[in-house]
Structure 1
Amino acid sequence: MKDITDLIAQRAEMLYGPSIPHHGTSTHATAFHAEASPPGTPPPPPDFASCLLSAPELAAMQMVPRTPLLGEWMREGDLGYLFAPRGGGKTWLAMLIGKALAEGVSLGQWAAGQGPRSVYYFDAEMNQQDVQTRAEKIGISHPSFYWLSNEYLYMTLTHSANIADPRHQEGLSNMLPDGSVFIIDNLSTGQSGMRENENDDFDVIKDWLLSLRRRAITVIIVHHAGRNGEMRGGSRREDPAHWILSLKDATEDGSSAKGFVTRFSKCRNCRERDAPPLRWSLKETNGRFMVYCDPFGNTDAMLTYIQDGITSANELAEVFGVQASAISKWAKKLMNAGLIRKRGREYQLIEE
Structure 2
Amino acid sequence: MKKGILLVNLGSPDSPSPKDVKKYLGEFLMDERVIDIPLVARTALVKGIILNTRPKQSAAAYKKIWWDEGSPLIVLSERLQNKIQQQVDIPVELAMRYGSMTIKKGLQSLVNKGVEKVLLFPLYPQFAMATTETITVLAEELRQEHFPNLKIESVPAFYNKPDYIEVLANSIQKHLKNKKYDHLLFSYHGVPERHIRKSDITKSHCKIDKSCCVTPSKAHEFCYKHQCLEVTRLVAQKLNLKENTYSTSFQSRLGFDPWLQPYTDRTIERLGKQGIKNMAIVTPAFVSDCLETLEEIAMEGQELFHEVGGQDFTTVPCLNDDSAFVNLLSKWITNWSKTPAETV
TM-score by length of 1: 0.23
Mark the structure with the bigger radius of gyration.
Answer: 1
Task: Looking at secondary structure, tell me which structure has more helix per residue.
Answer: 2
